[in-house]
Amino acid sequence: MNGLIVLGTASDTGKTLIATALCRLLADEGVCVTPFKSQNMSRFSSITQNGEEMSRAQFIQAHAARTVPSIYMNPILLKPGQDMKSEVLIFGKKLGLLGGIAYREQFFEQGIKAIHLALAKLGETYETIIIEGAGSPAEVNLNDREIVNMRVAEIADVPAILVADIDRGGAIASIVGTLQLLPPAHRSRVKAIIINKFHGDVTLFQDGIDFIESYTGIPVAGVIPFKANHGIEEEDVDRPVIPALTGVDVYAEWAAHVKVNLDWPLVKRIIAQPGGVT
C-alpha cells in the first residue's frame, strides 16, 4: 500500500480530523482507502459489525473513507481506568488492566506483531492507508518503545505530514523543535507541514510560512482555518457515533474545508511515493 502518516507536534493538534479529511478526499476520487492507528487511548469505543471493540476515531474515519470499520484499523486500544491503569485490548480482546510501565515491558513485542498483522490484512483489501500518529514523535523519553508514530511509519514505509496547532501559540517553535529532535532517518520522512486551527487573515501569516519553509526545507502544504462546528463526533464524548445523523454529510463539509486550504496535488504526490520520495 501507499499512503502517509499524520503526525502532530503535540497532542490535540487536529491529527484525527486531518486524517479524516484525507480519507474522504481520497474516497471521493475513487481510491480504496483505509484509516489506521496502531494504538489509541480513549475511554470510549465503537463496535464493529462483527461485535468487536475498536477506537471511535478510526470508526469515524472508516465512515469518512466510505468503508466498513474493521478491528484491523485499530489493533491496540487502551481504555484508561483508575489508579493510572488502562484496560488493554488487542484486536478487540481484553488482555487485562495494566499500568504504563507494565504495559511497555510486557506488550511491546506483542504490539509490534499486532501492527504487522493488521497492516498485512488491510493490504489485502486497500490500496492506500492514512495512518494517524499519537502525541508527538519527538518524545525522546518514549521513543525506544513507541509503537504509534515513526516506528509505524517505518513498518508501513510511508512518508509523514506534520500538523501544528497555531491556536495555542508557539506553532513555529513547535515545528522547528519537533524536527530538530527527530533523528535524520525520521526527519527525512516528513515531506510537508500543515498549520491547523488558524484564526484571522492567512495572508498575514505569509512571513511565517516563508520562515518555516526556508528554515526547515519542508513545504507548508496548507493553513487550515479554525472551524468550531465541523459536526464530526468527538472521540471522547460518551454517546454513540451516528454518522450523518442530521442527513448532512459532515465528512464532505469538513473535507471540502480542508481541501480548499490545502495543496492537495502536493499531498497526493506524497501519498503516491513509498517513504515519501518525490
Q: What is the pLDDT of residues 29-48, one digit of tens each?
A: 999 999 999 999 888 889 99
Residue that wins the pLDDT comparison between 241 and 62: 62
Q: What is the pTM of this model?
A: 0.93
- What is the Cα–Cα distance from 34 to 50, expressed in whole angstroms? 18
* Contact (CB, 8 A) for 226 and 199: yes
Strands 85-90 and 76-80: antiparallel
Examine the pLDDT at 244 and tell me if it is beyond 90: no
- What is the Cα–Cα distance from 270 to 278, expressed in whole angstroms? 7
Average pLDDT, the chain: 91
2-276 CATH, one of 3.40.50.300, 3.40.50.150, 3.40.50.2300, 1.10.443.10: 3.40.50.300
Q: So what's the pLDDT on residue 241? A: 57
Grid cell in block for residue 255: 473535507
Q: What is the dihedral of CA 40, 174, 171, 255, to 10 degrees?
A: -30
Enclosing H/E stretch for 157: none
Query: What number is the average pLDDT over the span 211-236?
Result: 90
Confidence of residue 246 (pLDDT cuts 50, 70, 90): very low
- In the numeric block, the cell 526545507 is attached to 217
- What is the Cα–Cα distance from 19 to 35, expressed in whole angstroms? 8
